[in-house]
Amino acid sequence: MFFVLIKFVKISLKSSPWLVKPALALGVGSLITCLSAFSANNNLDAIKQSIQSGQLDQALRSVQQERQTAPKDVQVQFLEGVILAQQGQHDRAIEAFKKMTEAYPDLPEPYNNLGVLYASKGRLEEARAAFDKAILTHASYAAAHKNLSDVQAQLTRQSYARALQVDPKVKAAAAQLTLLGAITTERSDISKIPGPAVRPATSNNPVLSELAETPSKGGASSPKENPAPSIKVPVKEPAITASAKPEEPNPEIEPIKSAVQSWAQSWSRKDMKKYFAAYASNFAPPDNMTRAKWESERELRIVSKKKIQVAVSHFEIDIQGNKAKVNFSQVYESDNFKGNSRKSLELTKQGGHWLITRETVN
Amino acid sequence: MRLSRKLAWTIPSLLTVFAIAGAWFFSGNDKPALQAAEHVSGMFSPKTTPNWNLQFGSEAFATASSVLPQNASAEEMVENVYNLLRVGDRFTARAQTERLLTRYPNFQLAHLLHADLMNEELATPIDPQSIEGKETSSGLNRYDELLLESSRRLNRPPASTLRGLVPRNIVSLSLQNPYFIAVDASKSRLYWFENKSNDPLKPQLKLLLETYVSVGQKGIGKSREGDGRTPLGVYFVNKNLKGQPLPDLYGAGALTLNYPNALDLMRGQTGSGIWLHGTPSEQYARAPLATDGCVVLSNPEMDRLLRLKNVEKTPVLITDKLEWVKSDQPSKDREGFKKALDQWVRDRQTSNLDGLKNIYSAQFQRDGKGLAIWWPEIASAAQSGAIKNSVQMQSIIEWKDTEDYMVVNLTNPNNTRVKRNQNLRMYWTKSGGNWQILYEGPA
């Protein structure tokens, strides 16, 4: 068995905060590769060098000094755990990483290393739970993980079909995979993550929130039902966050919601007339298209599908006079595609109707 | 068995004992295979282990290898996958399964292995029983057929344990028979031997090939045409049909057998066309119980056998359960038969017709006619001068079902009068403690 203990984490690069290099295989001979040791802190570099040259005691002393000057430095805490693990002080290393997972539940690296250490002690269930949590820290990872397992389920089905000599195409229902509608906002620089008590607000992306609530084991719905995360799962009906005070809900909220819903409905029914009627005359089509061109493209897109299902939910409505901005979650499903995205519509009230003036995918 | 398997997982040394004992004592009983489950992923908690179809065979094929010889058979590759799983090397196991499938893309059992390996990794495993398989003729569903195939393949007695052993039924086998074939239907195995006997009465055989075979969809004990059963008895290869255009069903080719033999005919059995043949192109192997009565081998094995020369006339013993004995320890209980046979030879050579007639059974039958019709011919042969030539025994094979029989092939001592090289075949039976001739005719 081969676990990768993440030794140094490259954390501060905005573009790719997730690049980590596996550095040490615990238990099975160790392999130290060149490390992408980006660090703002020169002392950290020195510590990393000490680790690389095997001077673990020295490294530990330096880390402990660093911790006194900067007790909240994530990098330093992390390195301490790595050194303890390397020294074979597995229990202490577990403690260190466990504390980190409590303080920074959104960092995958401490969970990963915790998993490796649990596994090395034969605590496999705990290891598994830790790895699961590592994956669930990031919506994209979680979605990719889920998609991967859905595809593997399909491959498995196909293999069984081959074994049983039935046509795999007929027997295997097409997988419904989750297409991420947006790039999740980057994680902020780790060093800026606020302290333990505050959990950085997870995005409202339903893909994320739902996956985060999916129990890590056996929680996935059976492939037959609906493998794609569906927003039907009632997450404490969050959020009609209107700007109006809660005790006096803006009377326009319901009309706006129903305008958006009927727009989605006409789209689902491929009722082009009603669909276009949901857009205001001053609607600005994307890419500076003319209205006519936009309409003909939409029509072609929509009418060509056999079946379309558009469901909207999780509204956030911001009303300013006769203008409104609506953020909501949209699950779009057509013949061979299922996508989940966050959408914004800007509407204006014209002649008693809320009409779309702008449509954007977040 | 289930318990022993579980124990075996925790105490590997026990496995050796159980598996070797198990292979021999339980191999006739296929139930353990069907409930074989949850052995592999010892790494993970058994509670979370899905329905695991794989099961382990005998420990006797001990070592798992990450590199197999290029010419490893499909079965050896499957076996190696199990061995790799037993030592916990899932990664290599999966890679080898994929290699196996590249080489044998129509090996359904390998697909099942592959599916199981993938299924085991899923958070929500698929229930394989939920996938309806191809319709089968055996009454088992396709899934259970594959489990049975897997169990038969993995529980086979290892070739090494057969060294120095020969099928009990061989009484005498002269070097005029270059080969001997034995089928153990209960184990779905065919054994192809090369005859190395210096003394025909102490047969020594070298195992050329032992392979998985399929038999009749309704099992064994053919009696009527279309009953879907494979006949049991002593048969001989008639023709090698290699190179002849045959339907895809026969795969690499076929060897025809002499079903129904003289005894079958006397018993009123019907049917025909019982062959040894290969598999259709869509299947690397057929289910253990799948044929209309033929014995079916995978194409690579069938092809190898079809390339051998002088395969015609090779004895083919088809049994439900093959019994093995040490080759240098011939059974003592055959003395009575040998005496009777010697007496028959003497009576023929001395033209002692009264004595000779006593050796022929009242039930004698050939082509539906009794001894009264055939006796004149037998008697005249015994009176001819040519009979003074010594009798050359080719083979004596014992067959026991409701009665005791001996199937004897010999070079016709009358070969100056009758067609040259025509051989004589006799069926002897024991009645009232005496061995008598039930049938005699050209082979």
| Model pLDDT for residues B134-162, shown as the tens digit of each residue | 888 877 889 999 999 999 999 998 888 99
Pairing, β B289-291 against β A323-334: unpaired
Q: Which residues of A touch B121 (CB under 8 A)?
A: 149, 152
The shortest C-alpha distance from B279 to chain A (Å) reads 15
Alpha-carbon gap, residue A155 to A158, rounded angstroms: 5
- pLDDT tens digits for A202-245? 333 333 333 333 333 333 333 333 333 322 323 333 333 334 44
- A238-252, B62-76, B102-116: segment of lowest average pLDDT: A238-252
- In angstroms, the CA A339 to CA A341 distance is 6
The CATH code for residues A253-361 is 3.10.450.50
Buried b (16+ CB within 10 A) or exposed e, A138-153: bbebbbebbbebbebb
B272 and B199 co-located in one domain: yes
B119 to chain A, closest Cα gap in Å: 6
Residues B302 and B336 in one domain: no
Q: B10 and B150 share a domain?
A: yes
Domain shared by B29 and B85, yes or no? yes
Strand, coil or helix: B337? helix
Residue A169 is predicted with a pLDDT of 59
Using the 3D structure, point to which of B107, B137, B154 is the last residue of a domain.
B154
DSSP B419: P
CATH, residue B313: 2.40.440.10
Measured CA to CA, the distance from residue B76 to residue B65 in angstroms comes to 11
Please determine, for residue A196, whether its predicted confidence score (pLDDT) is greater than 70: no
CB A256, CB A319: distance < 8 Å:
yes
* Stretch 71-110 of chain B: residues touching chain A, C-beta under 8 Å: 88, 108-109
Task: Based on the fold, state whether residues B175 and B290 are members of the same structural domain.
Answer: yes
Domain count, chain B: 3
Average the pLDDT over each of A104-118, A244-258, B210-224 and give the range with the smallest value. A244-258
Q: How far apart are CA B101 and CA B115, in angstroms?
A: 12
Bond into A206 cis (ω within 30): no
pLDDT of residue B106: 95
Angstrom distances, CA of residue A44 to CA of A6, A69, B111, B235, B238:
16, 13, 52, 84, 85
Q: Are residue B298 and residue B312 in the same domain, yes or no?
A: yes
Q: What is the pLDDT of residue A124?
A: 87
Query: pLDDT digits over B344-355, tens only?
Result: 988 988 889 999
Same domain, B179 and B313: yes
The beta-carbon neighbor of A156 closest among B45, B119, B143 is B119
* Domain membership of residue B74 as a residue range: 2-154
Assess contact for B193 and B207: CB atoms under 8 A.
Answer: yes
CATH class of A3-136: mainly alpha
| pLDDT of A168 | 63
d(CA B224, CA B439): 21
The single-letter code of the amino acid at B95 is A
Interface of A with B (CB under 8 A): 1, 124-125, 128, 149, 152-153, 155-157, 159-166, 171, 217-223
Average pLDDT estimate for B76-80 = 92
Sign of CA dihedral A27, A33, A38, A44: positive
Q: What is the separation, in whole angstroms, between the first and last Cα of chain B?
A: 47
Question: B294 and B171 share a domain?
Answer: yes
Q: Domain boundary at B97, B124, B154, which?
A: B154
- Gap from A174 CA to chain B (nearest CA, Å): 15
Contact B123 A149 (CB under 8 A): yes
B212 with B283, same domain: the answer is yes
- Pair B123, B182 in one domain: no
Cβ within 8 Å of A, B 271-330 = 282-283
Mind listing the pLDDT tens digit for each residue in B365-406? 999 999 999 999 888 888 775 555 667 889 999 999 999 999
Whether residue B43 lies within 8 A of chain A, CB to CB, comes out as yes
The answer to whether residues B31 and B112 belong to one domain is yes
| Residue A104 in this model has a pLDDT that exceeds 70 | yes
In the structure encoding, which two tokens stand for residue A259, read together?
């305008």
pLDDT computed for residue B44 by the predictor: 30
Strand segments (E) across B258-356 = 275-277, 289-291, 295-297, 315-319, 324-326
Local structure of residue B295 (DSSP, 8 states): E
Where does a domain end: B300, B326, B352?
A: B326
> Which is nearest to A264 in space by CA: A203, A351, A326, A335?
A326
Cβ atoms A94, A117 nearer than 8 A: yes
How far out from the chain centre does Cα B5 lie? 28
Strands B205-216 and B289-291: parallel
Q: Give the integer Cα–Cα distance in Å for B139 and A245.
A: 71
Asked if B264 and B313 sit in the same domain, the reply is yes
